[in-house]
Structure 1
Amino acid sequence: MPKGQSRQRFGQGKAKDNPAGTYFENRESGAANGQAAVHKGRLDAQAILLLIVHTLFGGANALSGTFVGVYLWKAKNDYALIGWFTLTTHLTMAITFWLAGKWVKEHNKMNCLRAGVFVSAIFYMLVLWMGTSSIHYFVWLGMVQGISAAFFWVAFNVVYFEVTDPDNRDRFNGWVGLLGSGAGILAPWISGLLIVNLGDGTGYRLIFSISLGIFLLGVIISFFLKKRKVEGIYEWLFPLRILRQSETPWKRVSLALVFQGVREGVFGFMIALLVYISTSSEASLGNFVLMTSAVSLVSFWAAGRFIKPRFRKISMFIGALMAVVVILPFFWKMGYATLLIFGLGASLFFPMYSVPMVSAVFDLIGSNEESAKQREEYIVLRELSLNVGRMLGVVLFICVISWSKAPLVINVLLLVIGSSTLFSWYFMKKQLSVIKP
């Protein structure tokens, strides 16, 4: 991003932490220097570095995170226990997001990002150390995972907002999905082969150790990201204040995010677990992720390249609808073949839903200078909404699965939870029609 000349101190933040100007100052200075016309829609060096850190973080999680649920399942075949682990993760994540908002607002947000990567490394160190006894400490492990995710994502999303603008935000999101899918192609496939060939004990220890090393590499590379200016004082009750306003698009957007989270909370762990249960093979799960990630890679590339702001509304609707349609084969037969149909279909269409959703929300944050100055609070509001939805989805899952584990009940549950994408689109559609110049 173009460097500003201001050395003014804002609130408790020091300008020397980052010589760059504010979000709007940077956009205006770029336009004044003729850079907007030449580089419109391009990603600068800081955006590319942020993509690399994100890819390492996602790759390390893809290598081992896909198998954490399986690891716990093999220790104890209990859907509800894995649900409680996931619920603990999302609850801790929500609380940590709210608390960490002050860190990224008033202090060094890059240290918060590094802390997220480092605590993720600690999570896998704990799993390695505890071994099969991890099942007895799932609450504590869920809390550590929630803290790591919150630290990383609250800082990542603030920096992402600062290094992108409406001209290149869809492109950045497309690259995030493309590189994440690229990591997802190889990492789980390699993990599955290692676990099968080396055995449970050695295989899981090896992949958790490799993830640990990748996280540490991510911390090192993050030091090449510039320190960024901190400005203003964190408003603790900002989400409540905004949602109490009579006329604000954030009421609709927050509901859309809640429904988005409902699906994420359950499908994030359930699909991988169902694939393993259907095949009893980590290698099959690795192959499943390889194939679905390959499709997702192409789909995210296309979404980032071709979905322009004027196409967001129809794109998100098609993605939301097809994310529900691909669940229907489960009612014919729950097996590897139908799970693969679901996985390939979701990978093909879900980027059409997620790319417009993410871009439109961040465009709303940057819609004027006042809201851009409170980007940290808005990002906390966004993440709180998502985690409320995730927790609601997981609570529904735990209640239903504790009542019945019949295949039909599970299929109906997945259909109900999966249909939340349509509600998300409904509450988001008005905002998707807002086109910024």
Structure 2
Amino acid sequence: MQTNQTNQTSVKSKGKLDAQAILLLVVHALFGGANALSGTFVGVYLWKAKNDFTLIGWFTLTTHLTMAITFWLAGKWVKEHNKMNCLRIGVSISACFYMLVLWMGTSSVHYFVWLGMVQGISVGLFWIAFNVVYFEVTDPDNRDRFNGWVGLLGACAGIIAPWISGLLIVTLGDGAGYRLIFSISLGIFLLGVVVSFFLKKRKLSGTYEWLLPLRILRQPQTPWKRVSLALLFQGVREGVFGFMIGLLVYISTSSEASLGNFALITSSVALVSFWAAGRFIRPSFRKKSMFIGSVMVVLVILPFFWKMSFSTLLIFGIGSALFFPMYSIPMVSVVFDLIGSDDESAKQREEYIVLRELSLNVGRVCGVLLFICVISWSKEPLIINVLLLVIGSSTFFSWVFIRNQLPAAKS
């Protein structure tokens, strides 16, 4: 039976989001908007400096490794100190990342390891704090709704920001265009820091247990073994598709404007699908929803075997935008419901969130390592397509491992 979660300031109406949850959505939207404006083009920026898939793979790998370490170390901060400062510093370091890229210019390609570390630290600090506060301001009744709004706002940012960025880069040229969009992102991140001060300081309780994730996974009957494997497979896809699809769009069209149009179209579809999924998916439907979503996002990869072009990439993008919310919203909700399933785990929410993020990042690292190994061996189109299909199929294995946990989420 679900228990009342710790540190909630009031009893929320069933299914409704309170003011703090809405404010957290605003902070998330600003963070996501700034990343959508420039993050979509970071891989392209590095690619134009040096046409090397492997280099971009190592940049991404460094980011995920640093992110995993940051999650584990920052867990103590968010549990025993001010988690809101952790969130603010994460946003601030994201701004610093774009300042560094602006300062280094095209020579950024020579410092990709250090830039990956800065990005990993910024993302790690933001998400460990965000996820803890997210757990505290939501409950099983409104968690799917909150996740739907997260996706909805992310889709809105994806519609507008990359399209504007692509237009500016094409209009102003590489140098001025990239400087402008990175500068605007910097400003939005700083605005996110300001807005975050309106979030209430959260109460603190307990002492951080550094090795709790390991202790949990060593328990023989814990559902976290299956859940962690599901998260690992989810991370495999995220680690590679997060940078590879946008890069393939640019390579196919040689135009940042086309990448912006791609993001506009696919995010418009995601806007509708996240709204529908957040509104209509209920705990009792999570199992079927995740199955449909996990299978369909694999099937939409198959057109690549016919031809890798803007058209087939668009088919993939629209299909993923349409069906991925059916997979991702239940996935997020069931994990956080498990964290809040009893008083003991709710009190150790920081450690469980670290376990969640470590599982995701292990998957991301594995996915990127596989990508680097294969790309170093061959860059033939057929090999790349098979690689994308193998990596993309990880969503189905994610559903296989978590499916028995899904009925337990019914409230």
CA deviation string 1:273-315 (max 9, x = no partner): 0000000000000000000000001000001000000000000
Distance 1:418 1:146 in 2: 23
CA deviation string 1:325-361 (max 9, x = no partner): 0000000000000000000000000000000000000
Q: Where in structure 2 are the equivalents of 1:207-356 lying within 5 Å?
A: 207-356=181-330
- Residue 24 of structure 1 deviates from its aligned partner by 4.3
The AA in structure 2 aligned to 1:187 is A
- Residue 23 of structure 1 deviates from its aligned partner by 2.4
The AA in structure 2 aligned to 1:247 is Q
Q: Does the aligned pair in 1 maintain the 2:7–2:202 contact within 8 Å?
A: no
Q: Does the aligned pair in 1 maintain the 2:7–2:136 contact within 8 Å?
A: no
Q: Does the aligned pair in 1 maintain the 2:7–2:203 contact within 8 Å?
A: no
Distance 1:271 1:40 in 2: 39
- Residue 323 of structure 1 deviates from its aligned partner by 0.6
The aligned counterpart of 2:131 is 157
SS of the residue corresponding to residue 404 of structure 2 reads helix
The aligned counterpart of 1:49 is 23
Distance 2:58 2:244 in 1: 13
The AA in structure 2 aligned to 1:62 is A
The aligned counterpart of 2:373 is 399
Cα pair distance change 1:144/1:26, threshold 3 Å: closer
- Residue 435 of structure 1 deviates from its aligned partner by 3.3
The AA in structure 2 aligned to 1:143 is M
Q: Does the aligned pair in 1 maintain the 2:24–2:199 contact within 8 Å?
A: yes
The AA in structure 2 aligned to 1:44 is D
The aligned counterpart of 1:96 is 70
Cα pair distance change 1:210/1:299, threshold 3 Å: same
Note the aligned Cα RMSD (angstroms).
Answer: 0.9
Q: How does the TM-score come out when normalised to structure 1?
A: 0.92
Distance 1:75 1:24 in 2: 49
- Residue 432 of structure 1 deviates from its aligned partner by 0.7
CA deviation string 1:157-207 (max 9, x = no partner): 000000000000000000000001001100000000000000000000000
The aligned counterpart of 2:343 is 369
1:189 is aligned to 2:171: no
SS of the residue corresponding to residue 408 of structure 2 reads coil
Q: How does the TM-score come out when normalised to structure 2?
A: 0.98
- Residue 433 of structure 1 deviates from its aligned partner by 1.1
Distance 2:191 2:298 in 1: 38
Distance 1:171 1:77 in 2: 42
What is the aligned counterpart of 1:203 among 147, 156, 177?
177
Q: Does the aligned pair in 1 maintain the 2:14–2:141 contact within 8 Å?
A: yes
Q: Does the aligned pair in 1 maintain the 2:8–2:136 contact within 8 Å?
A: no
Distance 1:26 1:408 in 2: 52
Q: Does the aligned pair in 1 maintain the 2:15–2:145 contact within 8 Å?
A: yes
What is the aligned counterpart of 1:359 among 324, 328, 333?
333
The AA in structure 2 aligned to 1:338 is T
Structure 1's unaligned 5+ residue stretches are 1-21, 31-35
Distance 1:270 1:240 in 2: 32
Percent identity for Structure 1 against Structure 2: 82
1:417 is aligned to 2:399: no
- Residue 436 of structure 1 deviates from its aligned partner by 4.1
What is the aligned counterpart of 2:5 among 23, 27, 30?
23
The aligned counterpart of 2:80 is 106
The AA in structure 2 aligned to 1:402 is S
The AA in structure 2 aligned to 1:323 is V
Aligned length: 408
Structure 2's unaligned 5+ residue stretches are none
Quick one: higher RCO (CA 8 Å, sep 6+), 1 or 2?
2
